Structure 1
Amino acid sequence: MSTDKRDRTLSRDVVASQIPSGDKHTLNAGTTVFIHQVLGGSYTVQTDTGLYRLDGKDADAIGETVVDQTVKKGNTLADGSPDPEAVWAQLRQVFDPEIPVNIVDLGLVYNMEISKQDDGGYKVDIAMTLTAPGCGMGPVIAEDAKNKVLLVPGVSNAEARITWEPAWNQSMISEEGKMKLGLI
């Protein structure tokens, strides 16, 4: 590994998701990692044993600052329901660790619905897909989407469901996403 600013040594043990399987592994303190990308508050790092995704809450273990990702108050509508734009903004903070485009611009989010629950809170249901059915990171990406949406004021419950209908294809990528990927 080179010795530039992206080489780091873990200061403590962290649990990371292996890419592309999504399996959880403990990376031990003292392990050298190379930071490949930082997107949506998570880190894609490489070790001698492969690629891993580190959650933003573990940024301190690689010498980075843990960023508060709480959505500011005021992102609710007049009736107290969550602002759909705040929910979409949070979904734009979710990334596949191998692709530098968020899941919304990749065209992976098919539907987002907000519904009032009996307890007075609001639930967000997300129907999403992946770029390939065999992607082991699917559950990790879906959980990240759910957790980011739960940060929106007024959201008390969230579910991200992976679906394969319709099958994803590159035409679903937004113009901005295509530009980032060099497709146009």
Structure 2
Amino acid sequence: MAEETSTATDTTAELQDRMIDALQSVIDPELGIDLVNLGLIYGMSLTDGVATVTMTLTTVGCPISQVLENMIGTAPEKLPEVNNVKIDIVWEPAWSPSKMSRYARVALGYHMG
């Protein structure tokens, strides 16, 4: 029985990794860095073929928010388990440069104090 639980967990972890990989293909057109490394993706889930991406934007009223939503909506659909994508934009916790990966901070020349 423990093996079945482990396999289910491995499958879930593997699916999460593939969803993250898919979202890493979504590049912010203004910054040239993917949304995962920018720290804008807060979570992902998959229920009955619907992938829900919980994310934020760098600013309220982001001028490219519709472009990003369209790009995010198509990236996970490349996975066979995903039939539809729902995007849940949240403002809490607020995004800050500290949410960026080391890669993004170095690429953008951002030095944290």
| TM-score bracket for this pair, using the shorter chain length | 0.7 to 0.9
Question: Equivalents in 2 of 1:86, 1:157: separation in Å?
Answer: 16
Aligned to 2:110: 183
Shift of the 148–154 alpha-carbon distance from structure 1 to 2, 3 Å rule, reads same
Instruction: Verify: 1:102 aligned to 2:29, yes or no.
Output: no
Q: Where has structure 1 moved over 6 Å in runs of 4 or more?
A: none
Deviations 1:8-27 (A, max 9, x none): xxxxxxxxxxxxxxxxxxxx
| 2:78 counterpart SS class | coil
TM-score, normalised to structure 1, is 0.51
Long gaps (5+) in structure 1: 1-76
Q: Which entry has the higher C-alpha Rg, 1 or 2? A: 1
> 2: CA distance between counterparts of 1:127 and 1:180?
24
Q: Distance in 1 between matches of 2:70 and 2:88?
A: 10
Query: Displacement, 1:136?
Result: 2.2
- Report SS of the residue matched to 1:158: strand
Q: How many residues align?
A: 101
Amino acid aligned to 2:92: E
Does 2:18 correspond to 1:86?
yes
Q: Percentage identity across aligned positions?
A: 31
1:181 Cα deviation (Å)?
0.8
Distance 1:140 1:127 in 2: 16
Q: Which has the larger share of strand?
A: 1
Mind listing any 5+ residue stretches in structure 2 that lack a counterpart?
1-8
TM-score, normalising length: structure 2: 0.81
Cα distance between partner residues in 2 of 1:170 and 1:162: 18
User: 1:183 is matched by which residue type in structure 2?
Assistant: Y
Structure showing the higher helix proportion among its residues? 2
SS of residue in 1 equivalent to 2:20: helix
Letter in 2 for 1:135: C
In the alignment, the residues of structure 1 paired with residue 55 and residue 46 of structure 2 have an alpha-carbon distance, to the nearest angstrom, of 15
Of structures 1 and 2, the one scoring higher in RCO (CA 8 A, sep 6+) is 2
